[in-house]
A = this chain, B = another copy of it.
Amino acid sequence: MSRISASRLLSNLDELATIGSLEHAGVQRLAFSDLDLEGRSWVVNRLKKLGVETRIDAIGNLFGVWNAEADGPGLMIGSHTDTVGRAGRYDGSLGVLAALEVLETLIESGERPARPIILASFVNEEGVRFMPDMMGSLYHVGSLSLSDARSAADADGITVGEECDRLAYTGSATIDDLSVDTFLELHIEQGPLLEREGIDIGVVTGVQGLSWWEVTVKGSSNHAGTTPMNLRDDAGLKASKLMTALRTLPNRIPDLRLTIGSVRYHPNLVNVIPDTVTFTVDMRHPSEEKLIHAENYLSDLLSDTGAQRDDPSRTPGSEARSDVSFKSLARVSPCDFASEVVKAVEQAADDAGLTRMRMISGAGHDAQILHRRYRSGMIFIPSRGGISHNPEEYSEPRHLVGGANVLLQAVLRLSS
C-alpha cells in the first residue's frame, strides 16, 4: 500500500510555519497580506518543482492541477494557508501540505489515477481582516461575486481589491474545464472529542448549522444605595433570568451547543444599577429542524417578555414596546456531506490501519461551502486539548502523518 513520506510532510509543515512566525510561538499570515502571499508563493514553488501546473483565479485562489489529461471528472483536495492573528501552525496549512504530499507521493509512485487531481488553497478562509470568512470558496462556488469580494474593506477602509492589486495577488485562471465533482479536506478537529476518545481519525459527516443572536435588555439606571429592591428596574437581573432560561435549552435539545460568550453591562459601575445589558447567543446543531426548534424557543422566550425582534422589514411605526429586543447576527444552515465521500474516508482509514469515528464538525470550513458545487467531505485528526486559533494548537506527528495517509487512500479510492 502507498504511504506518504512522514519526514517530508513534517519538514514542509516546519518550513511553511517559518513564514509569518511570531516571536515566541505561533504564526500570523492574515489573508491578503505580504506574509499570506509569501506563504502561498512557497506552495506555488513546491508545485512548480513537482511539475504541477499552477493556476490562480481572480480572487487569488490557488489550484495545482495534476493529471489533467485523465478522462474522469476532477478530484479536488486542499484547504487554506491564511491564518488568524495569533495562530497555530496546523489549521488550514495541514490540509494544503497534505494535499501537496499526496501529489508528490502519487508522482513518485508513477501511478496515474483515473481522474485529474487538483490541489486547492482557498484565500481568506479566516475572515479576520476582511469579511466574510471562507471568501475564496464562496467566490469559487458562485455564492460571492468578484466585485463584492474585492470591495470588502478592513477597519481602515482598505479593500480586498486594493490589497490584491498592490500584491499582484490574483490571476485570471479558472479550473472550469476540469469538471471537478468531488472535494475532500483534511483538517485538525479544533475540538476535544478525538483526543478524549483516543481515536485517530474523525470521519466528518457534516458541519453543524449556526445561529447567532444579540439580545438587548433595558432597565433603569439608579443609585445602588438609595433605591430599594422593590423599586428597581435592574437590566442585569432581567437579562440574568433570560440567560438562565436559555442555558437550559441544551438539556431539552440533544446535541445543541449553546454559548453566551459576550455580556456587556452599562454603565458597568459597582454602585449603579445597570440600565442596559447586551448579550450574545451562539447556537449550533447538525439538524436544521432542531436548530429552528432552538431558534423558536429563543424567540418565544423573548417574546414572552414582549420583546421586539429588530427586523428591517418591520412596518414603520411598530416601535419597540418592550424592554427586550433581539436581532440575528449570523445564520448558516447545517451541511450533510456526500455519503459516498464519507464512506470513502471510512474505508481509507481502514486501509491505513487507523481507528475512526463519525463526527460532526463544530467549526465552519471551506468544505461546507464547496459542498454547494461538489460532493464533499472532510477528515479530522485529534487536536491536543481541542485548542486552535492559538499558538498552543498542537497535533501529534503520528496524527498529522496518519491524516495525510487517509487523504491519500481516499484519493486513490475516489479516483479509481
Residues of A that sit less than 8 Å from B by CB: 189-193, 196, 208, 210, 212, 222-229, 231, 234, 236-237, 240, 243-244, 247, 250, 256-265, 268-274, 277, 280, 282, 284, 329, 361-364, 386-389
Q: Of B196, B256, B268, B273, which contacts A231 at CB under 8 A?
A: B196
Q: How close is A88's CB to chain B, nearest CB, in angstroms? A: 13
Q: How close is A366's CB to chain B, nearest CB, in angstroms? A: 15
**Can you give 26 A-B contacts (C-beta < 8 A)?**
A189-B226, A190-B226, A192-B231, A193-B231, A222-B387, A223-B386, A223-B388, A224-B257, A224-B259, A225-B284, A225-B362, A227-B257, A227-B362, A229-B250, A229-B258, A236-B261, A240-B243, A259-B272, A261-B265, A261-B269, A261-B274, A263-B265, A263-B277, A264-B265, A264-B268, A270-B329
**CA A240 to CA B259, docked complex, whole Å:** 13
Count this chain's copies in the assembly. Answer: 2
Name the B residues within 8 Å of A260 (CB-CB).
236
Contact between chains at A228 and B257 (CB < 8 Å): yes
Contact between chains at B229 and A257 (CB < 8 Å): yes
Beyond known contacts A225-B364, A236-B260: 6 more, CB 8 A cutoff: A190-B226, A223-B389, A224-B282, A226-B363, A240-B243, A264-B265
**CA A280 to CA B267, docked complex, whole Å:** 13
Q: A223-B388, A225-B362, A362-B227 are in contact. Are A270 and B244 (CB under 8 A)?
A: no
**CA A264 to CA B262, docked complex, whole Å:** 9
Q: Of B247, B261, B269, which contacts A240 at CB under 8 A?
A: B247
Contact between chains at B259 and A226 (CB < 8 Å): no
Q: How close is A210's CB to chain B, nearest CB, in angstroms? A: 7
